[in-house]
Amino acid sequence: MDTLNLEVVTPSGLIFDGKAVEVTLPGEEGEFGVLPHHASLTTLLKAGVVDIEKEDKSVESIVVNWGVVQVDEKKVVVLVDGAVAIRGESESDIAKALDAAKTLLSDVSDSNLAIASVSAKIESAAHKLV
Amino acid sequence: MANLKDIKRQIGSVSNTQKTTRAMKLVSTAKLRRAEELARRSRLFAEKTNAMIQDIAFQIECTKMGGIDNRCFTKIETPKMVDIIFVTADKGLCGGFNIQTLKAVNKMMKEFKEDKVKVRLRGIGKKGVEFYKYNEVELFDAVIDLSSAPDMGRAAEFITTSINDFKDGKTDAVYIIHNGYKNMITQELHVDRVLPVDTDSFDCSTNTNSSLLEIEAEDSEKMLDSLLTKYVEYNMYYALIDSVAAEHSARMQAMDAATNNAKEMVKTLNVKYNKARQEAITTELIEIISGVESMK
């Protein structure tokens, strides 16, 4: 199966580095998906969720508050300011990550609508994990 | 006999100090390792951001007549007002760490004054802030507890004022001065001009993939602006974590030297104590002997 290399970098380090089948990103002008061999592009991201479909079909969600993404045929580099990965071993871990993600979002976005739509998304992502 | 007791007390006091300095050294060693790791990990972000800014700047340079007209890229030959941000530690006992930074700040201020440039000082760290307060130098603003616990959010908040003032044309350059980490035993003083961004270091000729880059023209300026803001914010944050690492390495060294000095001092005091004790015994013996002699 074709894959692309994905790197998610924050000021405090690399939080995701690996292969992915598909990446969905919250672009400034709307959500878009990236598959392997996507044409080169660089664009801004707004606060939202980055969904990563990995080789084993599992989906990992990372909540970001700002970002720039650089896509070329083989790799995708996402530079973000603050990010929280929705993952964890137990239910309480996931709940903690959810809370952290929500505070991250409420800090950047002042529109309740945006927060609500993203919150709904991350909650559904979290439910899938449980 | 009082002399003996005095020496004994001195030995006790010095070895107590030695215990403290040794503990401080160990604490700094542990903290240094953590700070170093943090700095190392975050460097990746700088690399990626740098590369991306280069790409976009290059792109604009190629597609637009007259190149980039963004204020953040044009060096101003005769600045009228500059921002100097300095980072010092919140705590002392780390050798010349803070003094070195402050000396550099003073030197820079003097140079600017000679060129008739107004300087706005913004300070981070208790030691530096106190220094200028004592010398009655006015600080534009000061933050005290940020340098011991660097945080991206707060660093960004702090530098936003500088970025905005620069963009509005109130200031013509922004400098960050901090004492950075080089290796376990050396610190290196950094004076960085964060705004306007130094484009000379960008090497456009080696750019291979920029031709593939696809950005919508009106977007790129906005993106560059956004990226630049983050870049400057990140630089501030990096100065903070670099400074923490350097502070711990400086303290580790200072405390190591202090521990060794204390050890040396205990040694000399012990010799002194033994001599004094011997002297006391000799005196006593002479007294007894001369007493016996006189009774004969």
Whether A130 has a pLDDT exceeding 70, the answer reads no
Q: Are residues B236 and B270 in the same domain?
A: no
- Contact state of A44 with B222 under an 8 Å Cβ cutoff: yes
In angstroms, the separation between the Cα of residue B255 and the nearest Cα of chain A is: 29
pLDDT, greater one: A113 or B283: B283
Look up the domain containing B206 and give its range. Answer: 24-253
Across residues A58-84, what is the average pLDDT? 86
Q: Scan residues 40-69 of B and list those with Cβ closer than 8 Å to A.
A: 41-42, 44-45, 48-49, 52, 55-56
Q: What is the mean pLDDT of chain B?
A: 85
CATH code for position B93 = 3.40.1380.10
pLDDT of residue A2: 84
- How do residues B11-63 score in pLDDT, each as one tens digit? 999 999 999 999 999 999 999 999 988 888 888 888 888 788 777 777 766 66
pLDDT, greater one: B218 or A106: A106
pLDDT of residue B122: 92
Retrieve residue A123's tokens: 């909650």
- Contact state of B214 with A44 under an 8 Å Cβ cutoff: no
In angstroms, the separation between the Cα of residue B129 and the nearest Cα of chain A is: 27
Retrieve residue A130's tokens: 């449980």
- Contact state of A12 with B49 under an 8 Å Cβ cutoff: no
B69-83, B196-210, B234-248: lowest mean pLDDT where?
B196-210
Q: Are residues B41 and B119 in the same domain?
A: yes
Annotate A67-106 with b (16+ C-beta within 10 A) or e (fewer).
bbbbbbeeebbbbbbbbbbbebeeeeebeebbebbbebbe
Q: Are residues B17 and B29 in the same domain?
A: no
Interface ipTM: 0.76
pLDDT of residue A86: 79
Q: Are residues B122 and B7 in the same domain?
A: no
Q: Which long-range contacts (CB under 8 A, 24 or more apart) does A82-85 make?
A: A82/A10, A82/A107, A82/B152, A82/B153, A83/A8, A83/A10, A83/A15, A85/A15, A85/A16, A85/A60, A85/A61
Q: How many CB pairs under 8 A join A and B?
A: 69
Q: Please, what are the domains in chain A?
A: 1-130 (2.60.15.10)
In angstroms, the separation between the Cα of residue B236 and the nearest Cα of chain A is: 11
**Cross-strand bridge partners of residue A63:** A49, A84
B48, B152, B214 ranked by CB distance to A9: nearest: B48
pLDDT of residue B216: 57
B77-81, B103-107, B173-177, B240-244: lowest mean pLDDT where?
B77-81
**Please, are residues B45 and B234 in contact by the beta-carbon 8 Å criterion?**
yes
Across residues A68-72, what is the average pLDDT? 87
Retrieve residue B188's tokens: 């290196």
Nearest CA in chain B to A77: B48
- Contact state of A79 with B230 under an 8 Å Cβ cutoff: yes
Q: Are residues B92 and B160 in the same domain?
A: yes
d(CA A28, CA B219): 10
Across residues B238-254, what is the average pLDDT? 92
pLDDT of residue B210: 46
d(CA B125, CA B22): 25
Q: Are residues B244 and B265 in the same domain?
A: no
pLDDT of residue B211: 47
Whether B177 has a pLDDT exceeding 90, the answer reads yes
Residue B293: inside a domain: no
Whether A72 has a pLDDT exceeding 60, the answer reads yes
Domain count across chain B = 2
pLDDT of residue B279: 92
Q: Are residues B40 and B12 in the same domain?
A: no
- Contact state of A10 with B45 under an 8 Å Cβ cutoff: yes
Q: Are residues B117 and B215 in the same domain?
A: yes
Nearest CA in chain B to A10: B45
Residue B231: half-sphere exposure toward Cβ, Cα within 13 Å: 24
Q: Are residues B119 and B211 in the same domain?
A: yes
Whether B259 has a pLDDT exceeding 90, the answer reads yes
B45, B152, B209 ranked by CB distance to A79: nearest: B45
Q: Are residues B266 and B139 in the same domain?
A: no
Which chain B positions have a beta carbon within 8 Å of A107's beta carbon?
A: 153
Q: Are residues B162 and B184 in the same domain?
A: yes
Q: Are residues B214 and B129 in the same domain?
A: yes
B1-10, B103-112, B160-169, B269-278: lowest mean pLDDT where?
B1-10
